[in-house]
Structure 1
């Protein structure tokens, strides 16, 4: 049953921990904090912020969620339902919490929405292939 837990709840919780000041001083924007930078051969400088890292983590978890959605079992239905609840939590927080009005949070919410759409789409396609009519 632990496999039915949507993994995109992790970036949701991490972002909220940042809002309360776990990753920096309360009231500051921890997601703009630069983690590292690399001088490129072109002369440009590529830098990674904490927000960028959170988005990359969410994208990796989205891949795992899409692979999980190929299962055709009762657990996959629960997984889709919980993923929908995670997206609704993102949406409600985005609309009602001042600190969630952030581009990183909006991107995470979009990733959660894609998870819901892709999860149901992949499951319906997989279930359609499992259903055979004998004539």
Structure 2
């Protein structure tokens, strides 16, 4: 049944741990600052530096997991229905956190929450299209 778990729960959990535990226990403001602090920078051909923070790394990881979730949504087995339901629950949890908890009203978390919503929508749309194709009786 672990296959049914939405993969986007991983970045949500990482963000939750980061904010709720805080950056080394220093609170959510320090955790938010740590998300924005540069982790590394890459010199570009233009002479500019591309700086990447922990928030951007988490978003990149989330995009990869969204891609895998979209591939999983094409599966029409029973486990896919459970995955869609768990993804919907995850979206509701993310929405409540975004609206009610102080450290979650950030662009990074909003984008992660949007990815979870896209996973929910894509899963239901793919399931509906596949069901319509399976039950199509031919030309009308």
Higher helix share: 2
Q: Which residue of 2 aligns with 1:5?
A: 5
In the other structure, the counterpart of 2:115 is 111
Q: Find the aligned partners of 1:24 and 1:7 in 2 and give their Cα distance.
A: 27
Q: Write out aligned runs for 1:22-37 (5 A).
A: 22=23, 25-26=26-27, 27-28=29-30, 29=32, 30-37=34-41
Distance 1:49 1:23, change over 3 A: farther
Change (3 A) 1:111 1:82: same
Pair 1:44-2:48 in alignment: yes
What is the CA distance between 1:25 and its match in structure 2? 3.6
- TM score, norm. by length of structure 1: 0.92
Q: Which residue of 1 aligns with 2:130?
A: 126
Q: How does the TM-score come out when normalised to structure 2?
A: 0.89
Cα RMSD between the aligned structures?
A: 1.7
Gaps of 5+ in 1: none
2:56 and 2:24 map into 1 onto residues whose CA distance is 14
Give the Cα separation in 1 of the matches to 2:39 and 2:26. 16
State the number of aligned residues: 135
Q: Does 1:70 align with 2:74?
A: yes
The answer for unaligned runs of 5 or more in structure 2 is none
Kindly state the Cα deviation for residue 133 of structure 1 after the two structures are TM-superposed. Answer: 2.5
Q: How far did residue 23 of structure 1 move?
A: 6.1
Partner of residue 59 from structure 1, selected from 57, 63, 83: 63
TM superposition shift of 1:112: 0.7
Judged with a 3 Å threshold, the aligned counterparts in structure 2 of structure 1 residues 17 and 103 are, in CA distance, closer, same or farther, namely same
* Structure 2 match to 1:95: 99
